[in-house]
Amino acid sequence: MLERWSAGDAARLIGIALNPKASPLQNRDYADLLQLMSDEPEFRQLVDEVALGLGLRVYYADDYGCVLGVVDKSSRFALKLGDLREHFTTEDTAALMILMTVVIVAFFPSIEALEDDDYRNNEFINMDGLVNILNQYLADAAKRSEGEDEGPEQMLAKGWRYLEKLPPRKPDMQRVNKGSREGLLHHVLNFFQEHAFVTMREEEEQLRVTPTKRLRIQARELLGNHLFTYLFEMREGLKEQGD
């Protein structure tokens, strides 16, 4: 435990927490700083102030780590679609938005669920479940395209068409191949795992995906994007049709 602390210690804690894979179980300095936050209210306040100065806020901090969010959506720390484009050199923005949303709504099927810290849905979901959600989206998009909607649907049309042309799976190819819906979802999951938004494990010959607290926090930041919000509301419409 640090007997004396300063603004430098608070800044160091923020710097460590900005690495989504940092773990106090493997970083003694991180563990000591988190303990200091818990024991010293004045240090916790200083950490909050340093974070705010950087355009960040501390959403929670405990023995397992510190999760940060952005104060507003213009922050340089906010998750942006451009971050994903580095991993997808041929797919367009609309398809990426759809695929990202599929992963998020698998765990938070409505905006209300996403904003409710106490909401718990699936502990995990497998790849079949994700592909099924994507297929439902595509089927509903095909019906909507028969109308004259010139709003978000028109902007997402290129993404729908691209994904609709792909087979759900290619059994004779590796799942990470981009030539199938499942393969593209796998690429998005790899990106999400890289940034500690989900964890993935193979169990009973199935890939099981589990969300982290960071996924909920970062997904909330995307609600400022009207296409993302539209896709969330569209999912709610699909559930009502199923009922």
The pLDDT tens digits for 69-117 are 778 767 777 666 555 556 555 556 788 889 999 999 999 988 888 888 7
At 124-180, the pLDDT tens digits run: 899 999 999 999 999 888 777 655 555 677 778 888 888 999 999 876 655 456 788
The percentage of residues in the chain with a pLDDT greater than 90, rounded to a whole number, is 31
CA separation for the pair 132, 154 (Å, rounded): 23
At 33-62, the pLDDT tens digits run: 999 999 999 999 999 999 999 888 888 788
* Mean pLDDT calculated for residue range 1-6: 72
| pLDDT the model gives residue 90 | 55
| pLDDT the model gives residue 85 | 58
Which are the contacts of 69, defined by CB distance < 8 A and separation ≥ 6?
56, 57, 59, 217, 218, 220, 221
Query: Which residues share a beta bridge with 65?
Result: 62
Please compute, for residue 162, the number of CA atoms within 13 A of its CA located in the half-sphere on the CB side.
18
- Hey, CA dihedral for 81, 85, 87, 92, is it positive or negative? positive
Judged against a pLDDT cut of 70, whether residue 15 lies above it is answered with yes
The pTM assigned to this predicted structure is 0.71
* Mean pLDDT calculated for residue range 1-14: 84
Q: What is the average pLDDT score of the chain?
A: 82
Q: Which amino acid is at 85?
A: R
